[in-house]
Amino acid sequence: MASGFFALLDDIASLMDDVGAMTKIAGKKTAGILGDDLAVNAEKASGFVSSREIPVLWAITKGSILNKLIILPIAFLLSAFLPVAVTVILLLGGLYLAYEGAEKIYEFLVPHKHSKAEKVKTYLTKKEILLLEKEKIKSAILTDFILSIEIVIIALGTVVQQPIWTQVMVVSIIALVATAGVYGIVALIVRMDDFGLKLIELNGKQHSISDSIGRFLVGALPWVIKSLSVIGTIALVLVAGGIFVHNLEWLHHWLIGIPAILGEFIAGLVIGFLCLLVVIAIKKIWKAFGPGVKGADTTE
């Protein structure tokens, strides 16, 4: 009985060695997407009132954890019984990310015209602020869901030949690190100005080391947020382009000879703007012929 117990311990140790080794490999393969995930989520989590930054970030983090709990078992089942569905889901997620990136670029290049009512209203009520906050949280969680699928699938691809328990443990560790690491860093970024103010007030002396660092952090935050907005948009396009290039063989062949990152950006940008054109066309058709149009005409 004792020998059986020690044999079990030996099997567990061997399994943990395999898990550790495979986790390192999976971590390296997902490092790029984790960097993009950080940029996208930092941009999504910014722009809130200072007192609401941490509660909003915590709400997004809880949504991210729920995303992983939904994605992980489905990914394991699909990988085992219907692997083609994984590719289809990835491509659909890529279309959404490409569309979102293209929409941000379009809004920057072609600013929307606001109505007079919108221009006159220079403040929002508490109810409107909370409603806007909920919408941004939903958008952030949806984007996280798609990025989480990509992270889980890439990690799963590195251990697909391993025993099922190794797959479960390695991919779960990567998912946990992705959530804790990304949102932990995002929390540090959005609270950078508060930390800077504490350093400024630390000893009350001007031009001290703490005062200089504090003023630098406070002054740098707006630039960091603006930079993250740009980086996050580029990351959306790159992630989407990477999904298309790695899963569509014909597209991969078209882009042979072009540097990988440039090819992925071009693919994401072109497909993103095609999606944007389709969405704009559908919205115009719906506005012209959708329900309620005739009723609106008769009332006039």
Contact predicate 186/45, CB 8 Å? yes
pLDDT tens for 199-251 read 877 776 777 787 788 888 878 877 877 777 787 788 778 888 888 888 888 88
Of 281 and 140, the structure prediction assigns the larger pLDDT to: 281
Tokens of 207: 């031009």
| Rounded Cα distance, 227 and 89, in Å | 30
Instruction: Check residue 224 and give its pLDDT.
Output: 77
pTM of the model: 0.66
CA distances from 68 to 11, 26, 171 (A): 28, 16, 10
Closest CA to 44 of 93, 102, 104, 128: 104
Mean pLDDT of the 104-128 span: 65
Of 91 and 36, the structure prediction assigns the larger pLDDT to: 91
- Domain extent listing, the chain: 2-291
**158 three-class SS:** helix
Instruction: Check residue 196 and give its pLDDT.
Output: 82
Instruction: Check residue 84 and give its pLDDT.
Output: 79
CA distances from 188 to 27, 42, 44, 179 (A): 22, 10, 14, 14
